[in-house]
């Protein structure tokens, strides 16, 4: 529920971090909270938004750290460890999006999401995507954006899923490197734990593999899907890129 509140221990469990980490964030005023009756209270809606913004803005080591922290919880939901085969299908990839502006990207990505049959309220999903984008861009350096609703609400979807679109023309989307974007993931998760881990996993793919180049060069949706599956396997524990440092 949007206005559910957490105690310090509950928000630490929600985000899959240790309470001392939350205490430091509170001390440094880096996490939204309020004080009621002498105790700290954290609103779920504020935490959802803060967590996704913070994760997308993390340096490389921060993404690695959070991915490791949320790995055990993700394994409970996805015993095989791989998220792509569980959340994405080849037919949910559109390699020829005609969108040329930020609003048209969001509109076309919602239409792509509707193809899954899992969207219960397309209008509300679009409004939530626009609200989240207005807070800060979900674009990453290199030409990739990770669209997601401002808050992960179970009533928006029948099940968790990902869709992927590639625009014919690069679109200015507010990426921190100032370059336009052509690759757009839309992440729709019923569970915030899964949502944040999916964000971390996709960020990690962009950092640890050449997946952005491969997705841009792939001729069709099937080859884009295969490239994603292979790239994900390489960053899972035991994969060839697991634990490798990013060249600087």
Q: What is the DSSP string of 145-203?
A: EEEE-SS--GGGBSS-EEEEEEEEEEE----TTS--EEEEEEEE-SSHHHHHHHHHHHH
Q: Cα(167)–Cα(169) distance, rounded to whole angstroms?
A: 5
| Same-domain pairing of 40 and 104 | no
| Same-domain pairing of 134 and 216 | yes
Q: Please compute the mean of the pLDDT values over residues 120-128 and round it to a whole number.
A: 94
| Same-domain pairing of 117 and 212 | yes
**Is residue 188 predicted with pLDDT exceeding 80?**
yes
**Is residue 167 predicted with pLDDT exceeding 60?**
yes
Q: Does residue 113 lie in a domain region? A: yes
| Same-domain pairing of 139 and 185 | yes
Residue numbers of the domain that contains 45: 5-52
pLDDT number for residue 214: 97
Q: Cα(162)–Cα(87) distance, rounded to whole angstroms?
A: 5
pLDDT number for residue 174: 92
Q: Cα(83)–Cα(88) distance, rounded to whole angstroms?
A: 8
pLDDT number for residue 246: 34
pLDDT number for residue 247: 30
| Same-domain pairing of 116 and 231 | yes
Per-residue pLDDT band for 2 (boundaries 50, 70, 90) equals very low
| Same-domain pairing of 26 and 143 | no
**Is residue 226 predicted with pLDDT exceeding 90?**
yes
């Amino acid at each position: 529920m949007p206005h559910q509140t957490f105690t310090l221990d509950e928000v630490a469990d929600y985000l899959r971090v240790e309470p001392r980490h939350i205490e430091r964030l509170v001390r440094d005023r880096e996490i939204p909270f309020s004080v009621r009756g002498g105790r700290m209270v954290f609103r779920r809606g504020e935490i959802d938004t803060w967590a996704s913004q913070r994760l997308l803005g993390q340096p490389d080591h921060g993404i690695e750290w959070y991915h490791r922290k949320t790995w055990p919880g993700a394994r409970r939901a996805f015993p095989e460890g791989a998220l792509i085969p569980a959340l994405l299908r080849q037919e949910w990839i559109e390699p020829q999006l005609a969108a040329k502006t930020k609003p048209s990207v969001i509109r076309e990505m919602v239409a792509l999401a509707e193809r899954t049959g899992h969207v219960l309220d397309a209008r509300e999903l679009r409004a939530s995507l626009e609200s989240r984008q207005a807070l800060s861009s979900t674009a990453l350096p290199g030409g990739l954006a990770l669209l997601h609703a401002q808050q992960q609400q179970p009533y928006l979807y029948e099940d968790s899923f990902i869709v992927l679109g590639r625009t014919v023309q690069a679109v200015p989307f507010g990426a921190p490197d100032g370059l336009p974007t052509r690759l757009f993931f839309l992440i729709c998760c019923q569970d915030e734990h899964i949502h944040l881990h999916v964000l971390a996993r996709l960020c990690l793919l962009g950092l640890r593999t050449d997946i952005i180049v491969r997705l841009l060069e792939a001729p069709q949706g099937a080859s884009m899907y295969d490239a994603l599956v292979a790239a994900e396997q390489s960053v899972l524990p035991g994969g060839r890129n697991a634990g490798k440092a990013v060249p600087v």
